[in-house]
Chain A
Amino acid sequence: MTGAGMAPRDFLTDRLMLGLVVLVALVLGMPSLKPLFATLFPRLDRPLYEAESFVSLTLDHMALVGASSLAAILLGGGAGIAVTRPWGREFRGLLETVATMGQTFPPVAVLALAVPVMGFGPEPALIALTLYALLPVVENTVAGLDGVPPPVLDSARGLGMGPTEMLFRVELPLAAPVILAGIRTAVIVNVGTAAIASTVGAKTLGLPIIVGLNGSNQAYVIQGALIVAALAVVIDAGFDRLAGWLTRWSQR
């Protein structure tokens, strides 16, 4: 795990910086790799995906992942908090069932079901990705809040903290590392799953992959997949850094 310190570190061992450089280089420099793909796949007429720029595909991909993850964090986190309060405890079983169903449903099936209702475009993709990201967020919010040591809660109450003060000053800060781990899983999975959303007309990095698969153009598939992988690495490393910052008190 990377530390949260500002000390200069070896550039090559910093996963976040290295990943960012690779990602930016791939997104901006893909067109200049055209000769390379032409050499690797000599039988292809078009060795480079040029229907859309990789810059706009990447931005749209990130926007879709960001919006669906944010929705999942707000919904899942809020629901996770609600069912660990005294007044929401009885809904805990129901919530966990719904969240599990959300994840057991294959995203492709959700997409297929959403299209007739919502039409083609990013909307059905947003729904499917949000549902898919809900389970890890809900599970980890509940587990994180459950994991706050009872003596800490007892003394917080005994010293006169109200429910809101306890939640924001004690429970959420102590549960944060576990909740963050759930969000991390959700976002990373969504980076990959968002590629599939191109099947229903959402513009993502899945577009070159789908087009490539349909037209037997392996170069397109590789180009889309490389950027998706680099994006996942960068986001994962970013979460690593954030986790270190959240638990900085325990590393002293």
Chain B
Amino acid sequence: MIEFERVIKHFGSWTAVDAVSFTVAEGEFRVLIGPSGSGKSTVLRMINRLIPADEGAIRIDGEDIASLKPEELRRRMGYVIQSVGLFPHWTVERNIATVPGLLGWPKARIRDRVTELLELLNLDPRRYRGAYPHQLSGGQQQRVGVARALAAEPRILLMDEPFSALDPITRASLQTELSAIHRRTGTTVVFVTHDMDEALRLGDSIAVMDHGRLIQCATPLDILTRPASPLVRDLVGREEWGLKRLAVETVGDRARRQESVTGEPLAAETPLHRALSEMVARGTERLPVVDGDGRPAGVLHLSDLVRPTSGGTVPGGTV
């Protein structure tokens, strides 16, 4: 658990972080979003003391981080940045082994862990273990960057716009992989981005920052349907609002449980915008739904997608 209590940071006369308080629960995926200069990266870098707080308290699992040795604190957390920052003179294996090496893990354990992580990030260990960073594509480099951050099994993963420099296809696949890794490991993630689609897609909760202040901290659904300020509404945007709204709920949330229909079924955890796309593609208004074990879980109707629910329409009305 990460707690910020009225944390303040000044750079000269500029207040980068202005009395920010929030809590990130154990295992939560928290996205920090905001325009550039909003203080989101500063907040992230305060969690591992790369930037010291001027006032207020930051606690990890109830322990004030100011009382810990910065190096020890950082070795307990994963850290991934936009420009990756792999050590160019080290092989992929040695890069990933950085923190386990600092922690003095036995060689055999480090080697096994590197293999495991390369497989987790879809990099063939035989091919990439001994490669140097300059031999990899941007997407592969960031995969190694994520593997390096996860190497010592940290309970907290800090990510500063990790996918912003990647092409859309690579970014999408890394987002999917990160979601899967988060579900599997239960690591607490703090993820900075300026891309609302990425925030809606990845976050359990989204904290919106502006001018060093925390404007709103809420679930993706609430960010979409109950924006706390015009800035939040602008960050979401009106373009394809309906599809974004559908994307934050799953087929299972709206399927009619008692019905059944023939056809290729959709998994219950499929986002609703995919279901809409499927309906258009198949020319049908009804799709069968199955649960995680493949058992029938009802039918989704086209009308269910526009069924009035709380916050079903664009906040603030139509233009």
Contacts and interface: CB of A to CB of B under 8 A. Distances in A.
Contacts of A161: 71, 98, 102
Interface string A147-164: 001011111111111100
Contacts of A250: 88-89, 132, 134
B315 interface: no
B79 interface: yes
A252 interface: yes
A11 interface: no
Interface string B73-109: 1110001010111111110000000110010000000
A158 B48 contact: yes
A149 B86 CA distance: 10
Contacts of A169: 87
Given A157-B50, A160-B102, A252-B132, A151 B81 contact: yes
Contact of A152 (B45, B72, B87): B87
Contacts, number: 68
B135 interface: yes
Interface string B140-174: 00000100110000000010000000000000000
A43 to B, nearest CB: 60
Given A158-B50, A158-B81, A159-B75, A249 B88 contact: yes
Give the interface residue-count category, chain A: 20 to 34
B84 A159 contact: no
B58 to A, nearest CB: 16
Contacts of B99: 159-160
B85 A155 contact: yes
Contacts of A249: 88-90, 132
B50 A154 contact: yes
Interface in B259-315: none
Nearest to B82: A151
16 contacts: A149-B83, A155-B79, A155-B84, A156-B87, A157-B74, A158-B81, A159-B75, A159-B98, A159-B102, A159-B148, A159-B149, A160-B72, A160-B73, A174-B89, A249-B132, A252-B132
